[in-house]
Structure 1
Amino acid sequence: MRAVIAEDAVLLREGLTRLLREGGFDVVDAVDNPEGLLRAVERHKPDICVIDVRMPPTFNDEGVRAALVIRRQWPEVNLLMLSQYVEERYAVDLLAGDSRGIGYLLKDRVADVGDFLDTLRRVAAGGAALDPEVVSQLLVRSGRQDPLEQLSPREREVLELMAEGRTNNSIAGALVVTEGAVEKHVTSIFGKLGLPPADQAHRRVLAVLRFLEAAAR
Protein backbone atom coordinates (compact mmCIF):
# COMPACT_ATOMS: atom_id res chain seq x y z
CA MET A 1 0.00 0.00 0.00
CA ARG A 2 1.13 3.53 -0.83
CA ALA A 3 1.46 5.97 2.08
CA VAL A 4 2.15 9.66 2.64
CA ILE A 5 3.44 10.88 6.02
CA ALA A 6 2.83 14.42 7.32
CA GLU A 7 4.80 15.12 10.50
CA ASP A 8 6.81 18.26 11.30
CA ALA A 9 9.15 16.63 13.85
CA VAL A 10 12.01 15.36 11.70
CA LEU A 11 12.99 12.43 13.93
CA LEU A 12 9.44 11.12 14.17
CA ARG A 13 8.91 11.65 10.45
CA GLU A 14 12.02 9.67 9.60
CA GLY A 15 11.14 7.03 12.17
CA LEU A 16 7.64 6.60 10.76
CA THR A 17 9.02 6.41 7.23
CA ARG A 18 11.37 3.60 8.19
CA LEU A 19 8.72 1.82 10.28
CA LEU A 20 6.16 1.87 7.49
CA ARG A 21 8.64 0.69 4.88
CA GLU A 22 9.76 -2.16 7.09
CA GLY A 23 6.07 -2.99 7.60
CA GLY A 24 5.52 -3.37 3.86
CA PHE A 25 4.19 0.09 2.97
CA ASP A 26 5.49 2.10 0.02
CA VAL A 27 6.10 5.56 1.49
CA VAL A 28 5.79 7.77 -1.59
CA ASP A 29 6.30 11.08 0.26
CA ALA A 30 7.03 12.47 3.73
CA VAL A 31 6.31 16.16 4.36
CA ASP A 32 6.39 18.59 7.28
CA ASN A 33 3.46 20.94 6.60
CA PRO A 34 -0.21 20.77 5.52
CA GLU A 35 0.35 22.43 2.15
CA GLY A 36 2.97 19.84 1.27
CA LEU A 37 0.56 17.13 2.39
CA LEU A 38 -2.19 18.29 0.04
CA ARG A 39 0.26 18.52 -2.86
CA ALA A 40 1.53 15.02 -2.11
CA VAL A 41 -1.98 13.58 -2.00
CA GLU A 42 -2.91 15.27 -5.27
CA ARG A 43 0.25 13.96 -6.91
CA HIS A 44 0.39 10.42 -5.56
CA LYS A 45 -3.23 9.50 -4.62
CA PRO A 46 -1.96 7.26 -1.78
CA ASP A 47 -3.94 4.53 -0.05
CA ILE A 48 -3.36 6.15 3.34
CA CYS A 49 -1.96 9.29 4.94
CA VAL A 50 -0.43 9.36 8.42
CA ILE A 51 -0.99 12.91 9.67
CA ASP A 52 0.04 14.84 12.77
CA VAL A 53 -2.97 16.69 14.22
CA ARG A 54 -0.93 19.80 15.10
CA MET A 55 1.27 21.17 12.31
CA PRO A 56 2.90 24.47 11.26
CA PRO A 57 2.43 27.36 11.20
CA THR A 58 0.32 27.66 14.39
CA PHE A 59 0.56 24.05 15.63
CA ASN A 60 -3.15 24.11 16.40
CA ASP A 61 -5.40 22.09 14.09
CA GLU A 62 -3.71 22.41 10.69
CA GLY A 63 -3.38 18.66 10.32
CA VAL A 64 -7.08 18.12 11.00
CA ARG A 65 -8.11 20.83 8.58
CA ALA A 66 -5.88 19.33 5.88
CA ALA A 67 -7.40 15.90 6.61
CA LEU A 68 -10.90 17.31 6.15
CA VAL A 69 -9.87 18.77 2.79
CA ILE A 70 -8.50 15.38 1.75
CA ARG A 71 -11.75 13.75 2.86
CA ARG A 72 -13.76 16.10 0.65
CA GLN A 73 -11.53 16.11 -2.42
CA TRP A 74 -10.09 12.59 -2.34
CA PRO A 75 -12.56 10.47 -0.33
CA GLU A 76 -10.83 7.26 -1.40
CA VAL A 77 -7.70 8.22 0.59
CA ASN A 78 -7.72 6.75 4.09
CA LEU A 79 -6.43 8.78 7.05
CA LEU A 80 -4.65 7.91 10.29
CA MET A 81 -4.28 10.91 12.59
CA LEU A 82 -1.60 11.06 15.30
CA SER A 83 -1.89 13.33 18.34
CA GLN A 84 0.31 14.03 21.33
CA TYR A 85 -2.69 14.42 23.63
CA VAL A 86 -6.32 13.30 23.75
CA GLU A 87 -8.29 15.92 21.81
CA GLU A 88 -11.82 14.59 21.56
CA ARG A 89 -13.23 17.34 19.37
CA TYR A 90 -10.82 16.48 16.58
CA ALA A 91 -11.87 12.83 16.67
CA VAL A 92 -15.52 13.83 16.50
CA ASP A 93 -14.88 16.31 13.65
CA LEU A 94 -13.11 13.66 11.60
CA LEU A 95 -15.73 10.98 12.21
CA ALA A 96 -18.74 13.24 11.76
CA GLY A 97 -19.21 12.04 8.20
CA ASP A 98 -18.33 8.62 6.85
CA SER A 99 -15.87 7.18 9.35
CA ARG A 100 -14.67 4.34 7.16
CA GLY A 101 -10.95 4.63 6.55
CA ILE A 102 -10.38 6.94 9.54
CA GLY A 103 -8.09 6.36 12.51
CA TYR A 104 -7.11 8.52 15.49
CA LEU A 105 -4.24 7.43 17.74
CA LEU A 106 -2.01 8.94 20.37
CA LYS A 107 1.63 9.11 19.31
CA ASP A 108 2.60 6.86 22.21
CA ARG A 109 0.93 3.97 20.37
CA VAL A 110 3.64 4.05 17.70
CA ALA A 111 6.01 2.49 20.25
CA ASP A 112 3.99 -0.74 20.09
CA VAL A 113 5.09 -1.45 16.55
CA GLY A 114 2.99 -4.56 15.96
CA ASP A 115 -0.28 -3.02 17.13
CA PHE A 116 0.45 0.24 15.33
CA LEU A 117 1.06 -1.50 12.01
CA ASP A 118 -2.04 -3.65 12.49
CA THR A 119 -4.10 -0.51 13.08
CA LEU A 120 -2.52 1.19 10.07
CA ARG A 121 -3.34 -1.76 7.83
CA ARG A 122 -6.91 -1.89 9.13
CA VAL A 123 -7.47 1.82 8.42
CA ALA A 124 -5.73 1.57 5.04
CA ALA A 125 -8.19 -1.20 4.15
CA GLY A 126 -11.14 1.06 4.98
CA GLY A 127 -11.66 0.27 8.65
CA ALA A 128 -12.00 2.70 11.55
CA ALA A 129 -9.88 2.90 14.69
CA LEU A 130 -9.97 5.14 17.74
CA ASP A 131 -7.35 5.32 20.46
CA PRO A 132 -8.61 3.63 23.66
CA GLU A 133 -7.87 6.83 25.63
CA VAL A 134 -10.09 8.87 23.32
CA VAL A 135 -12.87 6.30 23.61
CA SER A 136 -12.53 6.26 27.39
CA GLN A 137 -12.87 10.03 27.68
CA LEU A 138 -15.83 10.09 25.31
CA LEU A 139 -17.53 7.41 27.39
CA VAL A 140 -17.07 9.47 30.55
CA ARG A 141 -18.63 12.47 28.84
CA SER A 142 -21.43 10.38 27.38
CA GLY A 143 -22.87 9.44 30.76
CA ARG A 144 -25.67 11.96 30.33
CA GLN A 145 -26.56 11.03 26.74
CA ASP A 146 -29.70 9.26 25.61
CA PRO A 147 -29.03 6.75 22.75
CA LEU A 148 -26.45 4.89 24.81
CA GLU A 149 -28.65 4.74 27.89
CA GLN A 150 -30.54 1.88 26.27
CA LEU A 151 -27.43 -0.27 26.23
CA SER A 152 -26.50 -2.66 29.01
CA PRO A 153 -23.09 -2.24 30.68
CA ARG A 154 -21.73 -5.17 28.67
CA GLU A 155 -23.09 -3.74 25.41
CA ARG A 156 -21.41 -0.42 26.19
CA GLU A 157 -18.13 -2.29 26.70
CA VAL A 158 -18.59 -4.00 23.34
CA LEU A 159 -19.38 -0.69 21.62
CA GLU A 160 -16.32 0.92 23.21
CA LEU A 161 -14.12 -1.84 21.77
CA MET A 162 -15.88 -1.56 18.40
CA ALA A 163 -14.97 2.13 18.40
CA GLU A 164 -11.32 1.12 18.77
CA GLY A 165 -11.69 -0.80 15.49
CA ARG A 166 -11.59 -4.29 17.01
CA THR A 167 -13.09 -7.33 15.34
CA ASN A 168 -15.59 -9.59 17.11
CA ASN A 169 -12.82 -12.10 17.75
CA SER A 170 -10.61 -9.42 19.32
CA ILE A 171 -13.51 -8.17 21.45
CA ALA A 172 -14.18 -11.70 22.65
CA GLY A 173 -10.55 -12.04 23.72
CA ALA A 174 -10.57 -8.71 25.55
CA LEU A 175 -13.79 -9.52 27.45
CA VAL A 176 -12.99 -13.22 27.92
CA VAL A 177 -16.25 -14.38 26.33
CA THR A 178 -17.08 -16.41 23.24
CA GLU A 179 -17.26 -14.84 19.81
CA GLY A 180 -20.88 -16.00 19.65
CA ALA A 181 -21.67 -13.97 22.77
CA VAL A 182 -20.08 -10.90 21.19
CA GLU A 183 -22.13 -11.38 18.02
CA LYS A 184 -25.32 -11.41 20.13
CA HIS A 185 -24.28 -8.21 21.88
CA VAL A 186 -23.45 -6.54 18.55
CA THR A 187 -26.84 -7.53 17.12
CA SER A 188 -28.55 -6.13 20.22
CA ILE A 189 -26.58 -2.89 19.91
CA PHE A 190 -27.69 -2.49 16.29
CA GLY A 191 -31.30 -3.02 17.32
CA LYS A 192 -31.25 -0.62 20.29
CA LEU A 193 -29.56 2.09 18.23
CA GLY A 194 -32.15 1.70 15.48
CA LEU A 195 -29.67 0.79 12.76
CA PRO A 196 -31.33 -0.63 9.64
CA PRO A 197 -30.15 -3.86 8.01
CA ALA A 198 -27.03 -3.29 5.94
CA ASP A 199 -23.68 -4.91 5.43
CA GLN A 200 -22.04 -5.76 8.75
CA ALA A 201 -19.06 -3.43 8.33
CA HIS A 202 -21.28 -0.44 7.52
CA ARG A 203 -23.52 -1.06 10.52
CA ARG A 204 -20.47 -1.18 12.79
CA VAL A 205 -19.38 2.22 11.49
CA LEU A 206 -22.88 3.62 12.03
CA ALA A 207 -22.93 2.28 15.59
CA VAL A 208 -19.60 3.95 16.36
CA LEU A 209 -20.91 7.20 14.85
CA ARG A 210 -23.98 7.09 17.09
CA PHE A 211 -21.63 6.61 20.03
CA LEU A 212 -19.50 9.60 19.01
CA GLU A 213 -22.48 11.84 18.25
CA ALA A 214 -23.97 11.10 21.66
CA ALA A 215 -20.66 11.68 23.43
CA ALA A 216 -20.12 15.01 21.67
CA ARG A 217 -23.40 16.56 22.86
Structure 2
Amino acid sequence: MTGPEPARAGGLRVVLAEDTGILRDGLVSLLERRGHEVTAVADGESLEREVVLQAAESLPDVVVADIRMPPTFTDEGLRAVLALRERFPGLPVLLFSQYVETRYAAALLQGDPRGVGYLLKDRVVDVGEFAQALVRVAGGETVLDPEVVSQLMGASEQDEGRARLSAREREVLDLLAQGRSNSAVAEALFLSLGAVEKNVAAIFQKLDLPYDAADNRRVLAVLRYLGV
Protein backbone atom coordinates (compact mmCIF):
# COMPACT_ATOMS: atom_id res chain seq x y z
CA MET A 1 0.00 0.00 0.00
CA THR A 2 1.51 3.31 -1.06
CA GLY A 3 0.73 6.39 0.98
CA PRO A 4 -0.10 9.81 -0.44
CA GLU A 5 2.41 12.40 -1.51
CA PRO A 6 3.23 14.87 1.29
CA ALA A 7 1.97 17.88 -0.66
CA ARG A 8 -1.32 16.42 -1.80
CA ALA A 9 -4.34 18.70 -1.41
CA GLY A 10 -6.36 18.13 1.74
CA GLY A 11 -3.57 16.47 3.72
CA LEU A 12 -3.80 13.00 5.24
CA ARG A 13 -6.70 11.13 6.77
CA VAL A 14 -5.50 10.15 10.24
CA VAL A 15 -7.00 7.95 12.95
CA LEU A 16 -5.43 8.80 16.31
CA ALA A 17 -5.66 6.69 19.48
CA GLU A 18 -4.49 8.29 22.75
CA ASP A 19 -6.15 7.97 26.17
CA THR A 20 -4.74 11.17 27.71
CA GLY A 21 -7.19 13.92 26.84
CA ILE A 22 -4.72 16.80 26.88
CA LEU A 23 -2.21 15.06 24.61
CA ARG A 24 -4.96 13.75 22.32
CA ASP A 25 -6.51 17.19 21.90
CA GLY A 26 -3.10 18.75 21.34
CA LEU A 27 -2.19 16.27 18.63
CA VAL A 28 -5.55 16.69 16.92
CA SER A 29 -5.10 20.48 16.92
CA LEU A 30 -1.53 20.16 15.61
CA LEU A 31 -2.48 17.85 12.77
CA GLU A 32 -5.57 19.79 11.77
CA ARG A 33 -3.56 23.01 11.60
CA ARG A 34 -1.34 21.24 9.08
CA GLY A 35 -4.28 20.35 6.90
CA HIS A 36 -4.86 16.76 8.00
CA GLU A 37 -8.27 15.25 8.74
CA VAL A 38 -8.22 13.55 12.15
CA THR A 39 -10.55 11.11 13.91
CA ALA A 40 -9.54 10.64 17.57
CA VAL A 41 -10.38 7.75 19.91
CA ALA A 42 -9.27 6.83 23.42
CA ASP A 43 -8.51 3.09 23.41
CA GLY A 44 -7.44 0.14 21.28
CA GLU A 45 -10.89 -1.35 20.76
CA SER A 46 -12.25 1.97 19.54
CA LEU A 47 -9.26 2.30 17.24
CA GLU A 48 -9.97 -1.04 15.57
CA ARG A 49 -13.67 -0.25 15.19
CA GLU A 50 -12.99 3.16 13.68
CA VAL A 51 -10.49 1.92 11.11
CA VAL A 52 -12.74 -0.96 10.07
CA LEU A 53 -15.65 1.48 9.76
CA GLN A 54 -13.65 3.86 7.57
CA ALA A 55 -12.30 0.97 5.51
CA ALA A 56 -15.81 0.27 4.26
CA GLU A 57 -15.26 3.32 2.02
CA SER A 58 -11.48 3.84 2.09
CA LEU A 59 -8.68 3.14 4.55
CA PRO A 60 -7.19 6.05 6.49
CA ASP A 61 -3.81 7.20 5.24
CA VAL A 62 -2.13 6.55 8.59
CA VAL A 63 -2.98 5.29 12.07
CA VAL A 64 -1.29 6.90 15.10
CA ALA A 65 -1.50 5.12 18.46
CA ASP A 66 -0.06 5.13 21.95
CA ILE A 67 1.18 1.65 22.88
CA ARG A 68 -0.22 1.71 26.43
CA MET A 69 -3.93 2.44 26.71
CA PRO A 70 -6.94 1.32 28.78
CA PRO A 71 -7.94 -0.97 30.28
CA THR A 72 -4.61 -2.53 31.38
CA PHE A 73 -2.16 0.10 30.09
CA THR A 74 0.23 -2.55 28.78
CA ASP A 75 0.14 -3.16 25.03
CA GLU A 76 -3.43 -2.42 23.89
CA GLY A 77 -2.32 0.04 21.21
CA LEU A 78 0.28 -2.35 19.81
CA ARG A 79 -2.15 -5.27 19.69
CA ALA A 80 -4.77 -3.14 17.96
CA VAL A 81 -2.25 -1.97 15.36
CA LEU A 82 -0.94 -5.50 14.71
CA ALA A 83 -4.50 -6.76 14.27
CA LEU A 84 -5.25 -3.95 11.82
CA ARG A 85 -2.04 -4.59 9.86
CA GLU A 86 -3.00 -8.25 9.59
CA ARG A 87 -6.47 -7.37 8.36
CA PHE A 88 -5.30 -4.53 6.12
CA PRO A 89 -1.73 -5.36 4.95
CA GLY A 90 0.38 -2.28 4.37
CA LEU A 91 -1.75 0.03 6.52
CA PRO A 92 0.68 2.78 7.63
CA VAL A 93 1.00 2.96 11.42
CA LEU A 94 2.92 5.25 13.77
CA LEU A 95 3.22 4.09 17.39
CA PHE A 96 4.56 6.09 20.29
CA SER A 97 5.42 5.34 23.90
CA GLN A 98 6.75 7.02 27.02
CA TYR A 99 9.61 4.52 27.19
CA VAL A 100 11.62 2.37 24.78
CA GLU A 101 9.99 -1.06 24.77
CA THR A 102 12.20 -3.20 22.57
CA ARG A 103 9.99 -6.29 22.51
CA TYR A 104 7.11 -4.19 21.21
CA ALA A 105 9.26 -2.53 18.57
CA ALA A 106 10.54 -5.92 17.44
CA ALA A 107 6.99 -7.28 17.21
CA LEU A 108 5.99 -4.31 15.08
CA LEU A 109 8.93 -4.74 12.71
CA GLN A 110 8.80 -8.51 12.26
CA GLY A 111 6.17 -8.28 9.55
CA ASP A 112 6.53 -5.86 6.65
CA PRO A 113 8.36 -2.87 8.20
CA ARG A 114 7.42 -0.47 5.40
CA GLY A 115 4.94 2.16 6.52
CA VAL A 116 5.83 1.61 10.19
CA GLY A 117 7.00 4.16 12.73
CA TYR A 118 7.92 4.05 16.42
CA LEU A 119 8.67 7.27 18.31
CA LEU A 120 9.12 8.18 21.94
CA LYS A 121 6.60 10.69 23.30
CA ASP A 122 9.38 13.23 23.71
CA ARG A 123 9.77 13.12 19.94
CA VAL A 124 6.01 13.39 19.40
CA VAL A 125 5.88 16.75 21.16
CA ASP A 126 8.52 18.06 18.73
CA VAL A 127 6.01 19.47 16.25
CA GLY A 128 8.19 19.49 13.16
CA GLU A 129 9.71 16.07 13.74
CA PHE A 130 6.37 14.42 14.50
CA ALA A 131 4.65 15.96 11.48
CA GLN A 132 7.51 14.88 9.22
CA ALA A 133 7.48 11.33 10.61
CA LEU A 134 3.73 11.10 10.02
CA VAL A 135 4.08 11.99 6.35
CA ARG A 136 7.04 9.66 5.87
CA VAL A 137 5.19 6.70 7.41
CA ALA A 138 2.12 7.46 5.31
CA GLY A 139 4.42 7.38 2.29
CA GLY A 140 5.61 3.85 3.11
CA GLU A 141 8.87 4.63 4.92
CA THR A 142 10.13 3.06 8.15
CA VAL A 143 10.73 5.68 10.86
CA LEU A 144 12.37 4.74 14.16
CA ASP A 145 13.29 6.94 17.09
CA PRO A 146 17.10 7.10 17.53
CA GLU A 147 16.77 5.87 21.12
CA VAL A 148 14.69 2.92 19.96
CA VAL A 149 17.41 2.04 17.46
CA SER A 150 20.11 2.39 20.11
CA GLN A 151 18.42 -0.08 22.45
CA LEU A 152 17.31 -2.52 19.77
CA MET A 153 20.80 -2.87 18.39
CA GLY A 154 22.09 -4.04 21.76
CA ALA A 155 19.93 -7.16 21.54
CA SER A 156 22.25 -8.88 19.06
CA GLU A 157 25.73 -7.45 19.42
CA GLN A 158 27.28 -10.82 18.52
CA ASP A 159 25.95 -10.88 14.95
CA GLU A 160 28.98 -11.88 12.82
CA GLY A 161 27.99 -9.76 9.85
CA ARG A 162 27.68 -6.60 11.92
CA ALA A 163 30.96 -7.37 13.65
CA ARG A 164 32.64 -7.02 10.25
CA LEU A 165 31.40 -3.45 9.82
CA SER A 166 33.80 -0.55 10.22
CA ALA A 167 33.06 2.28 12.66
CA ARG A 168 31.92 4.50 9.77
CA GLU A 169 29.69 1.76 8.36
CA ARG A 170 28.07 1.36 11.77
CA GLU A 171 27.41 5.10 11.87
CA VAL A 172 25.81 4.92 8.43
CA LEU A 173 23.73 1.90 9.34
CA ASP A 174 22.59 3.53 12.57
CA LEU A 175 21.12 6.39 10.54
CA LEU A 176 19.63 4.05 7.96
CA ALA A 177 17.93 2.23 10.82
CA GLN A 178 16.29 5.49 11.81
CA GLY A 179 14.80 5.67 8.32
CA ARG A 180 17.19 8.27 6.89
CA SER A 181 17.76 8.51 3.15
CA ASN A 182 21.29 8.40 1.70
CA SER A 183 21.25 12.17 1.24
CA ALA A 184 20.14 12.69 4.85
CA VAL A 185 22.92 10.37 6.04
CA ALA A 186 25.44 12.35 4.00
CA GLU A 187 24.27 15.58 5.59
CA ALA A 188 24.33 14.20 9.13
CA LEU A 189 27.84 12.74 8.81
CA PHE A 190 29.30 15.50 6.62
CA LEU A 191 30.05 13.03 3.83
CA SER A 192 29.57 13.17 0.10
CA LEU A 193 26.64 11.26 -1.34
CA GLY A 194 29.11 9.04 -3.18
CA ALA A 195 30.88 8.16 0.07
CA VAL A 196 27.58 7.19 1.68
CA GLU A 197 26.64 5.03 -1.31
CA LYS A 198 29.98 3.20 -1.05
CA ASN A 199 29.41 2.58 2.66
CA VAL A 200 25.89 1.31 2.02
CA ALA A 201 27.18 -1.05 -0.67
CA ALA A 202 29.83 -2.36 1.76
CA ILE A 203 27.18 -2.86 4.44
CA PHE A 204 25.03 -4.94 2.10
CA GLN A 205 28.02 -7.09 1.21
CA LYS A 206 29.20 -7.61 4.79
CA LEU A 207 25.70 -8.49 5.98
CA ASP A 208 25.48 -11.08 3.19
CA LEU A 209 22.33 -9.60 1.70
CA PRO A 210 21.34 -11.23 -1.60
CA TYR A 211 21.71 -9.11 -4.71
CA ASP A 212 18.18 -9.95 -5.86
CA ALA A 213 16.73 -8.34 -2.72
CA ALA A 214 16.66 -5.17 -4.88
CA ASP A 215 14.33 -2.55 -3.38
CA ASN A 216 14.17 -4.36 -0.04
CA ARG A 217 17.91 -4.38 0.61
CA ARG A 218 17.85 -1.30 2.86
CA VAL A 219 15.01 -2.79 4.93
CA LEU A 220 16.84 -6.12 5.22
CA ALA A 221 19.99 -4.34 6.37
CA VAL A 222 18.10 -2.44 9.03
CA LEU A 223 16.38 -5.56 10.32
CA ARG A 224 19.68 -7.46 10.45
CA TYR A 225 21.22 -4.54 12.29
CA LEU A 226 18.42 -4.42 14.84
CA GLY A 227 18.47 -8.18 15.35
CA VAL A 228 14.79 -8.49 14.41
Runs of 4 or more, structure 1, over 3 Å off, are 197-201
Partner residue, 1:138: 152
Partner residue, 2:190: 176
Q: How many residues align?
A: 213
What one-letter code is carried by the residue in structure 1 that aligns with 2:104? Y
Deviation at 1:141, TM superposition (A): 3.6
Alignment of 1:194-209 (within 5 A): 194-197=208-211, 201-209=215-223
- Measured in 1, the distance between the counterparts of 2:204 and 2:111 equals 19
- Measured in 2, the distance between the counterparts of 1:198 and 1:32 equals 44
The answer to whether the 8 Å contact 1:49/1:78 transfers is: yes
Deviation at 1:143, TM superposition (A): 2.4
For the residue of structure 1 that corresponds to 2:89, the secondary structure is coil
Q: Which of 3, 6, 15 is the aligned partner of 1:4?
A: 15
Partner residue, 2:29: 18
Deviation at 1:188, TM superposition (A): 1.2
- Measured in 2, the distance between the counterparts of 1:194 and 1:141 equals 20
Segments of structure 2 that go 5 or more residues without pairing to the other structure are 1-11
Change over 3 Å in CA distance of 1:151–1:7 after alignment to 2:
same
Deviation at 1:200, TM superposition (A): 5.8
Partner residue, 1:88: 102
- Measured in 2, the distance between the counterparts of 1:24 and 1:171 equals 29
The answer to whether the 8 Å contact 1:47/1:76 transfers is: no
The answer to whether the 8 Å contact 2:90/2:114 transfers is: no
Deviation at 1:198, TM superposition (A): 5.0
What one-letter code is carried by the residue in structure 1 that aligns with 2:19? D
Partner residue, 1:160: 174
Change over 3 Å in CA distance of 1:154–1:5 after alignment to 2:
same
**Greater helix content:** 1
- Cα RMSD between the aligned structures? 1.5
Q: State whether structure 2 residue 48 is matched by structure 1 residue 38.
A: yes
What one-letter code is carried by the residue in structure 2 that aligns with 1:175? L
The answer to whether the 8 Å contact 2:67/2:78 transfers is: yes
Q: TM-score, normalised by structure 1?
A: 0.93
Deviations along 1:133-192, one digit per CA (max 9) or x if unpaired, are: 011122334322323112111111111111111111111111111111111111111122
Deviations along 1:20-65, one digit per CA (max 9) or x if unpaired, are: 11223221x1100111100111112211001101011100011111
